[in-house]
Amino acid sequence: MDSDSIIKSCGECPEKSMCFNKLTNEELERIDKNKVVLKYKKGEIIAKQGAFVPQILYLQKGLVKVYKEINDTENLVLTIFPNGSLIGLPSLYSTSKMEYTVSALVDSVICAMDKQLFEDFIKQNGEFASAVISSMNSCLLYNFNRIKSLTHKQMNGRLAETILFLADSIYGSDEFKLSLSRKDMAEFTGMSVMSVVRGMKDFKESNLISDDHGYIKILNREKLMKISVTG
Instruction: Identify the pLDDT of residue 12.
Output: 64
CB 49 within 8 A of CB 118: no
CB 123 within 8 A of CB 92: no
Residues 96-146 have pLDDT tens digits of: 788 999 999 999 999 999 899 999 999 999 999 999 999 899 989 998 999
Work out the average pLDDT over 174-193: 97
Asked if pLDDT for residue 167 goes beyond 80, the answer is yes
Instruction: Identify the pLDDT of residue 178.
Output: 97
Cα dihedral across residues 188, 194, 195, 201: positive or negative: positive
Work out the average pLDDT over 194-221: 97
* Helices of type H across the chain: 25-33, 115-124, 126-152, 155-165, 182-189, 193-205, 221-230
Residue type (1 letter), 189: T
Per DSSP, the residues of 90-119 read GGTT--PBPSSEEEESSSEEEEEEEHHHHH
d(CA 174, CA 212): 14
Instruction: Identify the pLDDT of residue 5.
Output: 42
3-state secondary structure of 174: coil
Tell me which of 177 and 10 has the higher pLDDT: 177
Residues 151-160 have pLDDT tens digits of: 999 999 999 9
Residues 179-188 have pLDDT tens digits of: 999 999 999 9
pLDDT-based confidence at residue 162 (cuts at 50, 70, 90): very high
Tally the C-alpha atoms within 13 A of residue 117's C-alpha that lie toward its C-beta. 18
Work out the average pLDDT over 192-198: 97
Give the global pTM. Answer: 0.87
Q: What are phi and psi of 45, to 5 degrees?
A: -80, 130
Average pLDDT, the chain: 91
Q: What are phi and psi of 185, to 5 degrees?
A: -60, -40
Residues 39-75 have pLDDT tens digits of: 999 999 999 999 988 899 999 999 999 999 998 889 9
Cα dihedral across residues 94, 99, 101, 102: positive or negative: negative
Tell me which of 88 and 160 has the higher pLDDT: 160
Residues 6+ apart with CB under 8 A from 48: 98, 101
> Which domains does the chain possess?
2-131 (2.60.120.10), 150-230 (1.10.10.10)
